[in-house]
Amino acid sequence: MRAFVAGLFCVCIGVGAALPPLAHAQSSLPQHTMDWQALAQRIVDQLQLEPGEKVLSVAQPGMFEEFVPYFRYAVMQAGATDMGVIDVLDPPYPIDWDEGVIRDGFAKSRDAYVKMLEDIDAAVMMPGANPTLPAYKALQILLQEKAGPRRTIHFHWTDPYSPSGNVTGLTGVNVLAGFPPPPMQVIDAVYQNAVLNTDLAVLDEHQDRFIAAMRDADVHVTSPAGTDIRFRAEGRDIIQQNGDASAKRMRKGAPFLDREVEIPGGVIRVAPLESTVQGQVVYPYSAWNSHSVTNATITYTDGKITGATADVGAEHLQAELDAAPDSAKYFREFGLGFNPLLSPEVTPGWVGYYGYGKGVVRLGVGNNGELGGAVSGRFFRWRDLLIDCTVTLNGEVWLKDGKFVQ
């Protein structure tokens, strides 16, 4: 199986009961290549393409290359118009390249792409493409400013913000403290299974029930490590990644991040009303300022960070926060995963796909403008995940120690 390479992120994961170690013997590894045709057809099915819709692919050379022809053919079979592929220029770059030239060139390309891609109805962002790159950014601008039926598919197979080429071959994976990284073949197999076999109707129904209960509720999140935080969503957008990438859904006025449909689906996300956020979040094992920190504890008053301590590495925690602008020193978001095929039970020793697995909680810090929040500034963290939380809505338990009870 082809190995996809990108940066490995070892992010804070709250651990409840001990998990069994991974078996990495060769005999235990998946022995089949990726089913590119099935993946392509599933993506087209979720797009629910309408006759004549113009569909584009944005790709990094060398990544998911086998997928592209199958996808383009499936687009044609659906009666839509295949508009080809735009290759991105992703780092790392040659050492003698001038960063100013790249920055200015990207800005010009982005502006040109906004005009060039205005008539594109749907686009698929392959692994390796990310919003810092001109074509991707242009499509995001169009999603935000032009609305209508336009939408994009965003693969989370690789970390969208880290250069490819890391020798670990891992990306989009959060490894639990004390566990070895999973082989890329295992990651590929888990993600492919989630794309092909997630029951989207069941996923959507579960998310709908939680969202309806959360809308006007007092949300309370706790964990064995000491997280104890409360907030309210009030009238904020609740982003629902349920796999529905249809033009019909977009015409109903889906929020920006609902228009960037992530594959596989599974999470709901919200930037709570900042003034309602009270309490603390404890990250048992996390990285701050590129250093390991144990029991990092962030205290919030009216959404603003009013305290930061740690058992080990407090200086690194403080250094990262000190470097952040004051406008960004706020609670960012609450996310909750619903996909059973990405749950911690399926991935012992690691958490995949940035917390979209059933029962995984995301508690972010910093800028939340893309979620419809009021926090600005060039700083945010959204990969900090907990797998053992209890979540109550108006005192009613929905999640207990990382397991749904409703």
Q: Please name the fold of domain 13-197.
A: Thermophilic metalloprotease-like (3.40.1830)
Highest-pLDDT range among 55-64, 271-280, 380-389: 271-280
* pLDDT band per the 50, 70, 90 thresholds, residue 25: very low
Q: Is the pLDDT of residue 13 over 90?
A: no
pLDDT at residue number 177: 86
Q: Quick one: average pLDDT of 212-228? A: 98
**CA angle 250-252-258, nearest 5°?**
45
Question: 259 falls in which pLDDT band (50, 70, 90)?
Answer: very high
Whole-number Å distance between alpha carbons of 162 and 365: 19
Specify the DSSP element, H or E, that contains 203.
helix 200-214
Length of the chain: 406
Note the pTM of the prediction, 2 decimals: 0.90
Q: How far is CA 2 from CA 23, 28, 260, 272, in A?
A: 20, 17, 26, 41
Is residue 20 scored above 60 in pLDDT?
A: no
Residue 62 pLDDT level (bands cut at 50, 70, 90): confident
Give pLDDT tens digits for 142-165: 999 998 899 999 988 876 665 443
Per DSSP, 164 falls in state S
Each residue's pLDDT tens digit, 70-94:
999 999 999 999 999 999 987 788 9
Confidence of residue 174 (pLDDT cuts 50, 70, 90): confident
Q: What does pLDDT average to over the chain?
A: 90
Cβ atoms of 366 and 379 within 8 Å: the answer is: yes
Mean pLDDT, residues 46-66 taken together: 94
pLDDT in tens, 109-137: 999 999 999 999 999 999 888 888 999 99
For residue 167, is pLDDT > 70? no
Residue 342: per-residue pLDDT: 96
Find the largest Cα–Cα distance for the chain: 59
φ/ψ region of 319 (left if φ > 0, alpha if ψ in -120 to 50, else beta) reads: alpha
Domain with CATH 3.40.1830 in the chain: 13-197
What's the pLDDT tens digit per position in 288-340? 999 999 999 999 999 999 999 999 999 999 999 999 999 999 999 999 999 99
Q: Which of 127, 161, 131 is nearest to 144 (CA)?
A: 131
The number of angstroms, rounded, from the C-alpha of 78 to the middle of its chain's C-alpha atoms is: 28
Token digits for 160? 């969208």
d(CA 86, CA 61): 10
The CB-side HSE value for 326 (13 A sphere, CA atoms) comes to 0
Q: How many CA within 13 A on the CB side of residue 156?
A: 25
Q: Average pLDDT, stretch 351-375?
A: 94
Tokens of 46: 């979720």
pLDDT in tens, 31-41: 888 999 999 99
Q: What is the pLDDT of residue 184?
A: 81
pLDDT of 59 reads 93
For residue 392, the model assigns a pLDDT of 98
Please give the pLDDT value at position 386: 96
